[in-house]
Chains A and B, each alone.
Chain A
């Protein structure tokens, strides 16, 4: 068997099934890396090694009897620290919930348990998911495994770092304004935000119920497809989850992309873009063209910039309604950066909030009709800049810090407002060795198509296979 560090989630799942490695062996390997490297990069909140090893031994016993639970049988994973796992503290990166012991499992955790995962623990995140940089004033800033002076991206910072650092083989994160796309873009892995509420959020600490999405982060598009297949199941217990039945996102992933139409979206998505990011996008388009995709320029509607503002209004108000009683009674338990963002929600009139929600249908129809008029899949940078340093996003001129934070989420946040699916794919490196990435955007419920195009790109490139420069092969 190949060295596990060179294996993806689907590789290791097959190796376990073939008995080339036991679940206990690979779980010990993952635990060693997660417990050794995780704290160094602020990637982990909690590891339950004893429970993980017992689960791994159970999976091995089942396999010896010829029993396979599902497509994740025996695979070590860990997930963003906002999910309820019975008996574990779920504090979502906050002090407010530091004593919140979960009494049941989140829906996605239960689905992955049913599919045979070995859950190692909870990974770090921004306080209450409120930072695109990975900033956390209480538990430490997520550090980029390609250069620890730089941000990892957030809010699913630990998920991005742990997958990129080969500590776990995949992770489920949460995305309210880019959080399963920005850490992959900055850490050099893959992440997909599905269509709004395609994955039930029951048992995850909410930030904004109209925008929150859960989605996988993993090395490859194929890995993401497997995790999405397991988690994107109808949930009768979540009244607003979308019921599309059970879809197998891996089933058509190897189909050719020849003849598919690729829309390179200009206008808004080309403004303020760093030349290195633009060059990375051009190179990615060339690869997709070489695979037979027909590329053309697509236009975004003029309202696309407003979607980002509307997302902010909705997020702020909903976050304020969730946090109101804690903000008033325990303000000292919030870091200033997070309190500041939540408090904005108190200042929007109810009429503006309802208007912002009411416009979603029309703006979504306009976006789909304009962008996808001549293409099947749209491509944009995931973010307009290369990963900034921690200093650039935390200290110095306040205006500059705000500008950096705004730019990071510029191309991501509006898609949460529109509810559209989008996948981030690694696309090379900057001159300073930091990951570049692009984002494929599709019509509602087009996750299979996005995964297929991303997979085709990854068959032709190896950016997603590169080990971060600071991460040792042996840990």
Chain B
């Protein structure tokens, strides 16, 4: 288990046989890498909660809110 896996373990226990996952080792590896990247970036970039769909608005988009 590498540092990323230790620091950002997946939220589900991938060893749980009841889950019937196709490739638990691969899932663990990919998700730990993804979690590590998000956590690293989030530490200095996420200062406020933004609308999921409103991110284009400052660029000239006008989201239809109907």
Chain A positions within 8 Å of B, measured between CB atoms, are 195-197, 210, 234-236, 238-244, 303, 306, 309-310, 312-313, 316, 331, 336, 339-340, 343-344, 346-350, 352, 354-365, 368, 419, 443-445
Smallest CB–CB gap between B52 and chain A, Å? 5
Smallest CB–CB gap between B42 and chain A, Å? 4
Do B27 and A195 have beta carbons less than 8 Å apart?
Answer: no
Indicate if B41 sits at the interface (CB-CB under 8 A): yes
Indicate if B50 sits at the interface (CB-CB under 8 A): yes
Smallest CB–CB gap between B32 and chain A, Å? 8
Do B58 and A361 have beta carbons less than 8 Å apart?
Answer: yes
Contacts of A234 in B (CB 8 A): 64
Partner of A242, one of B33, B45, B48, B64: B64
Do A309 and B53 have beta carbons less than 8 Å apart?
Answer: no
* A352/B38 contact (C-beta < 8 A), A444-B60, A445-B59 known: yes
Contacts of B1 in A (CB 8 A): none
Q: How many residue pairs at the A-B interface have CB separations less than 8 Å?
A: 129
Do A309 and B56 have beta carbons less than 8 Å apart?
Answer: no
* A355/B58 contact (C-beta < 8 A), A306-B41, A348-B10 known: no
* A340/B22 contact (C-beta < 8 A), A195-B56, A195-B61, A360-B55 known: yes
Smallest CB–CB gap between A319 and chain B, Å? 13
Interchain residue pairs A-B with the least CB separation, the first 5: A347-B10, A444-B59, A347-B31, A355-B42, A361-B55
Contacts of A331 in B (CB 8 A): 20
* A347/B22 contact (C-beta < 8 A), A241-B64, A357-B52 known: no
Do A344 and B30 have beta carbons less than 8 Å apart?
Answer: yes
Contacts of A235 in B (CB 8 A): 64
Contacts of B50 in A (CB 8 A): 357-358, 360-361
